[in-house]
Amino acid sequence: MLRNYSVRTDLALEEKERFESDDVEVQGVVLEEDYDEEQELRVTRVEIRTENGAKAMGKPVGTYLTLETPNLAIPDDESHMNIAERLCGYIRELVRKNAGNKEGDLSVLVVGLGNREVTPDALGPYVADHLSVTRHIVKEYGKYAMGLEHADMISAIVPGVMGQTGMESTEIVRGIVKETHPDMVIAVDALAARNSKRLNRTVQIADTGIHPGSGIGNNRSGLTAESLGVPVIGIGVPTVVDAATIVNDTMENFIAALESSDSLKGVGEVLRSYNAGEKYEFVKELIAPHLNGMFVTPKDVDEMIHQISHTISEALNMLFTGYERQGSGTSQQA
């Protein structure tokens, strides 16, 4: 039986689910869940509180908030604003938690990670495109030029990928941080998921930074508080799954069909006795070698990425430019 398996995912929630499927309790890791039935919106909070818990989960100590909703990529204005408001609240929570003793307005650098030329990897650049950047206005004319009593200074950068620049994204961002001295960095990136049902319908917000390419096995230097010298909040959406995950999901349906058959029920029960990780590794060994490195994304990913990028940028604009939606209108908040 396979024991040392690894499941490719960037989501802390899925790492925690892996242990739950094995009936293993991870010490130092706390999971809380809230479900809004009316909005079809589930929020899961995973807190890794100890170094032992971090080692077991393979993720740093910190808070991971995961918002799941089937409406994330749907072009509906009401759903878009409702989700943006919820995201705004959760991002605000982590910003306040990590701002320390900083008083007054914040200077925030938003980093849009990814490759604009590859649609499933273009989420970060698209979010940066839709941001209301204000640093240049505040520095030139003062915060009252924004018409606000409080005005955070927002700047944005799309560093590209190593194949385009010959440099690690972390090297580029570190140089900008040293030059512009932001209080905080918010990094937005596309992620990889373990469960195909979470594609383009899940947002993870974490106060531990972000590691570009880790979900697809292309590990790059991470954007973290340690590497940049300022707090880093990571925002990510899973846009791809690997081929083994697709086959594994199909296998789950196949096992369910076997268990419903009187003559083949025993076969289904044997396969069901494998835990999630063992079944995943079993599938990886069986599929053709040339499919092992293949990653899959939905056919309408272009529209989905555009919609999701608008939602995330709207949440950031609400938080940092002071615009909050009330009822059906929009009002300006100090």
Spell out the SS3 assignment of the chain.
CCCCCCCCCCCHHHHHHHHHHCCCCCCCEEEEEEEECCCCEEEEEEEECCHHHHHHHCCCCEEEEEEECCCCCCCCHHHHHHHHHHHHHHHHHHHHHHCCCCCCCCEEEEEECCCCCCHHHCHHHHHHHCCCCCHHHHHHHCHHHHCCCCCCEEEEECCCCHHHHCCCHHHHHHHHHHHHCCCEEEEEEEEECCCHHHCCCEEEEECCCECCCHHHCCCCCCECHHHHCCCEEEEEEEEEEEHHHHHHHHHHHHHHHHHCCCCCHHHHHHHHCCCHHHHHHHHHHHCCHHHCCCEECCCCHHHHHHHHHHHHHHHHHHHHHCEEEECCEEEECC
pLDDT tens-digit series, residues 194-239 = 778 888 999 999 999 997 655 445 556 789 999 999 999 999 999 9
Has this prediction a pTM greater than 0.85? no
Segments in 101-152 forming alpha helices (H): 123-129, 135-141
**Residue bearing the bigger pLDDT, 33 or 148:** 33
Q: Which of 66-75, 136-145, 159-168, 228-237 has the highest mean pLDDT?
A: 228-237
**Measuring CA to CA, how many Å separate 98 from each of 28, 41, 106, 107, 216?**
20, 26, 12, 13, 28
Q: Which of 19-28, 45-54, 242-251 has the highest mean pLDDT?
A: 45-54
Task: Give the span between the Cα atoms of 283 and 249, in whole angstroms.
Answer: 10
What pLDDT sits at residue 205?
97
**Is the pLDDT at 328 greater than 60, yes or no?**
no
Cβ proximity of 119 and 301 under 8 Å: yes
**Is the pLDDT at 264 greater than 80, yes or no?**
no
CATH number given to 12-332: 3.40.50.1450
Cα angle for residues 55, 60, 66 (degrees, 5° grid): 115
**Is the pLDDT at 93 greater than 50, yes or no?**
yes
Cβ proximity of 66 and 13 under 8 Å: yes
What pLDDT sits at residue 146?
73
Task: Give the span between the Cα atoms of 206 and 326, in whole angstroms.
Answer: 27
> What does the domain layout of the chain look like in residue ranges?
12-332
Q: Considering the chain, what percentage of its residues have pLDDT values greater than 70?
A: 79
